[in-house]
Amino acid sequence: KAGVTQTPRYLIKTRGQQVTLSCSPISGHRSVSWYQQTPGQGLQFLFEYFSETQRNKGNFPGRFSGRQFSNSRSEMNVSTLELGDSALYLCASSYQETQYFGPGTRLLVL
């Protein structure tokens, strides 16, 4: 099976802009989770979607949002970007208790 794919891989934005990241899970996986990884905070959970519904949410401001489509593909959106949003954004699809991660989208906010 193909692995988890994320697009784009790299992104440069300026403060105040918004960004949409995309994730395609492994075929048959219905759960998709998003994480933010920074050197200072480590790997932090953003949210999880299962069958198009947000099932869990981390402690991030409302500027961070997501959705999942009927084919399990997921998008996350960050509005009004701040410098601190610069990070590696990882998507993972789950089968039972194991998460399978995509390569990530590296976002740089200038």
Partner 1 sequence: SQQGEEDPQALSIQEGENATMNCSYKTSINNLQWYRQNSGRGLVHLILIRSNEREKHSGRLRVTLDTSKKSSSLLITASRAADTASYFCATDAGGGSYIPTFGRGTSLIVHP
Does residue 6 contact residue 21 with C-beta atoms inside 8 Å? yes
Task: Select from 11, 20, 30, 50 the one that contacts partner 1 (CB under 8 A).
Answer: 50
At 78, which amino acid appears?
V
- From the list 12-20, 62-70, 75-83, 84-92, the region that binds partner 1 by CB under 8 A is 84-92
Q: Any bridge partners for residue 45, and if so which?
A: 35
Does residue 81 contact residue 16 with C-beta atoms inside 8 Å? yes
- From the list 14-22, 28-36, 63-71, 73-81, the region that binds partner 1 by CB under 8 A is 28-36
Does residue 60 interact with partner 1 by CB under 8 A? no
C-alpha to C-alpha distance for 87 and 18, rounded to whole angstroms = 14
- From the list 13-21, 60-68, 71-79, 88-96, the region that binds partner 1 by CB under 8 A is 88-96
Task: Select from 19, 21, 76, 90 the one that contacts partner 1 (CB under 8 A).
Answer: 90
Using CB atoms within 10 Å of the CB of residue 44, give its burial: 0 to 12 exposed, 13 to 18 middle, 19+ buried.
middle
Binding site for partner 1 (CB under 8 A): 4, 31, 33, 35, 42-43, 45, 48, 50, 55-56, 88, 90, 92, 94, 96-104, 106
